[in-house]
Structure formats: structure tokens, C-alpha cells
Amino acid sequence: MANDLLGRFKEELAPVDLLVPVQEGKKKVLPPHMTNRIVTIVGIKTVQSRFLPVSHEGESNETYVDKVELMGKVRAEFIARKMKGTERRSAMRLFRELTEDHGSGDGWQTTFNNWFDTKQPCRIPNALCTRCWNDSLFGSLEAGRGATFARIRYFDTFSFQDASECIASTASEEGIAIGNTVDEDLSQDRGSASLHYYEYVKAGTQFPFITVIESPTLLDVSGILNAIPAADSRGYGKYSASSGKFSTEIFTVSTGLPKFSILDMLEWADEDGGKTGIRHHFTGLKTSRFESHVREAVTLKPEDVDGLKAEIRGAFGEYAGRLG
Ligand SMILES: [Zn+2]
């Protein structure tokens, strides 16, 4: 009874009121989050085009992929901050579109300013309004300006595959990639300084992921489920939006905290044929892989996850109704 499961899941979510700013003195602020509800999203991301997971900015004309030695392999590393940053921007774009649908036809910005009593656009990451759906979920740590902590948690993750298989570098068959430098001066003759050498993670490389949302509302959960594929097609990579495209398979969305880690998922993949090995751990289980505080965890099946994703318009409509 798929529908029953989704219904039970939704009963475990936090109310949308949590996202509606309240008047405090002269300004509006987001209310504190007092629920102990948790939702966890689990899946794997597969690289579709060259991906440059690079956590440092540099002036050098050589770029190396982040990698670590872990559990018997050298693995490409996809840091949590990068995943969060890209999905945060995708979520913002998505909700701007939805805001337009609920506005008075003056464009999303006017509607946004009216809803959140702000004159500024909400700009990521340095000029956040601290009141909108995005800041409530992803946090807005601006001291003295109604800071809110993030309710969403990402984890650093690592490739299933060893660097020798999944990274193009000086040591690999493909060799290191060569591109133009970002700020190449086309009026000058080309020399070695106008070239840029970079390693990249190859298409087909897989990364498991776990995302945890505290005090999750239906808008948060359906929102992030829509933001993930939007981020995938836009790209998580460095230098250009076209690098680091992904496809994501979500194994499950569940209430409660995971009783496993990214390292466990890597172990399951190593033991038993990669993705299949992981999927195996989420199907046909007698005991839950998730831990809820009081009640038993409600763990959705893939078809219910699609249903949950489709709830976004309804959830946004309810939220807009409270704001307007
Ligand atoms: Zn904002």
C-alpha cells in the first residue's frame, strides 16, 4: 500500500509554519526549530561529464583533483561543502520560479520582497535575507542579522572506484587534460602560460551520498528532491557550469537518522559489485536501517519517493498562502 506509506511519512514531517517569518520587534525573523524530527535521503551520484572536485582555489596553471587514501584505495573526494553549495543555488532558482507563479505578475523579486519584508534580493552566499525558505534550510550565518543555523547536513563522500580507474592524470592512459586558462588574453600570442593542465574525474565514477534534514517540512523535502536533478544537469564542477554533470539515483527517503555511514556504503559497494551492492542493503530488509526517536522509522520505497517529489507545487502553495 504505497499511498499509505507516503501518508504516514508526511505525518512525521514538521509543519510549514516553521518556515514562516514572525515579527520580532521591528523586523521579521524565522521562528526557532523546536522539533526533533529528522529525514534522511540516501542514494548515489554518477558522474556524466568531466568532474573537477577541487576544494582549493589557486593561481597555479595545474589543478589536481581532491583525493584520499581510504579503505584500500585512493579515492576521489567530493566534499560536502561543494555539494551543498550547488544544491543550495539550485533550490533558490527552483523556488524563484514557483514564486513567480504565486506573484501578482510583477516578477518574482517584488513578490519576494513583499513576503519577506526586505528590499534586497537574497544573494548567495554574501547577501542573504535570513528569512526565506532557502536560508531556513541551508542556514544564514550572518552575526547579528538574525542568523539561522542550517537544518540540512551533507557529508564528504568518496568514489567507489580507485584513482587509477576514475581519474585522468599524468599517470593515466588518457593523460592530464589541457585547456585554456580562464582569463586568457586573446590579444597575446599563445605560450605555455595560456594553457592550463588539469586532472578530472571520469564519467561513470560513482559517489554514495547521505543528506540529513532536521525539522523537515514537506516543502524542504520535496524541494531538495527537485533541486538535486536540477543541480545534476547544471553541474557541480569547477571553471564552467558544463563540468561535473551527474545523474542521481535515490535509494530511499526515510524518517530518522541513518544507522550507517558513507564508509559503510563504500564497503557494501566494494564487497558486492558497486551500486547493486548498496541497493541490496535497502531492499527487502526486515529491520530498519534508520532510527527514529520515538516511533518506528517510516522508510519510503522508490515509487513513493517520486510521489513525494511531485508534492512540491502543493507544498509551495500552502507556504505562499501563509506568507501572502
Ligand atoms: Zn534568503
| Alpha-carbon torsion (6, 7, 12, 15), positive or negative | positive
| 84 occurs within a structural domain | yes
**307 CA distance to ligand 1 middle (Å):** 27
Helix (H, G, I), strand (E, B) or coil at 127: strand
pTM exceeding the 0.85 threshold for the entire prediction:
yes
Q: Does 65 reside within a domain?
A: no
- The range of the structural domain enclosing residue 264 comes to 2-60+77-160+205-323
Query: What is the mean pLDDT of the segment spanning 30-34?
Result: 81
Q: Is there a domain that residue 55 lies in? A: yes
Ligand 1 is an ion; its neighbours by CB within 5 Å are: 122, 129, 132, 135
Q: How far is the CA of 17 from the centre of ligand 1 (A)?
A: 16
pLDDT: which is higher, 277 or 33: 277
- Tell me the CA–centroid distance for residue 146 and ligand 1, in Å: 11
Q: Let me know if residue 212 belongs to a domain.
A: yes
Q: How far is the CA of 152 from the centre of ligand 1 (A)?
A: 15
What does the pLDDT look like over 159-206, one tens digit per residue?
A: 999 999 999 988 888 888 887 765 555 566 666 667 778 899 999 999
pLDDT attached to residue 181: 63
- For residue 28, pLDDT beyond 50: yes
Task: Name the 3-class secondary structure at 70.
Answer: strand
| Residue 193, domain member (yes or no) | no
Give me the number of domains the chain comprises.
Answer: 1
**For residue 270, is it within any domain?**
yes
Does residue 112 lie within any of the structural domains? Answer: yes
Q: What is the pLDDT of residue 201?
A: 94
Q: How far apart are CA 85 and CA 237, in angstroms?
A: 11
Yes or no: say if 108 and 116 are a contact pair by the CB < 8 Å rule.
Answer: no
* Listed residue (5, 71, 38, 43) closest to 210, CA to CA: 43
pLDDT tens readout for residues 57-91? 666 777 888 999 999 999 999 999 999 999 999 99
| CA 128–ligand 1 middle distance (angstroms) | 5
How far apart are alpha carbons 102 and 155 in whole angstroms? Answer: 34
Inside any domain, residue 184: no
Q: Looking at residue 262, what is its pLDDT?
A: 98
